[in-house]
Structure 1
């Protein structure tokens, strides 16, 4: 089992937990690296849970929109 670094809930990450199956997160659209601060993913985590990953992604996209020239 994996533990979400954001909410501390346990969940199955098929890739980190080596289940041999595709993970649920592969069904989500990717986030563009240009939308990440400095264009880099600066986290020491393997994955967020199914609840937190979409929230994290939305926060990065909102931050990008706020800081992008209009």
Structure 2
């Protein structure tokens, strides 16, 4: 998969989580997506944190798995 523009889900703080656009992502061979943005550290995140289309409501969360990993270890 080539790099594509995506929206990424973030936990948020007191006001709750949110979707943020402007990332480029590519499917990782190890699972999940590698996300990149100039002002963020590139990392690998699970599929459930990625949307390939702009969410209708930026405050509505995806289906978050129970005991979900938010970011994969860099090792």
TM-score relative to the length of structure 2: 0.20
Higher relative strand content: 2
* Greater per-residue helix proportion: 1
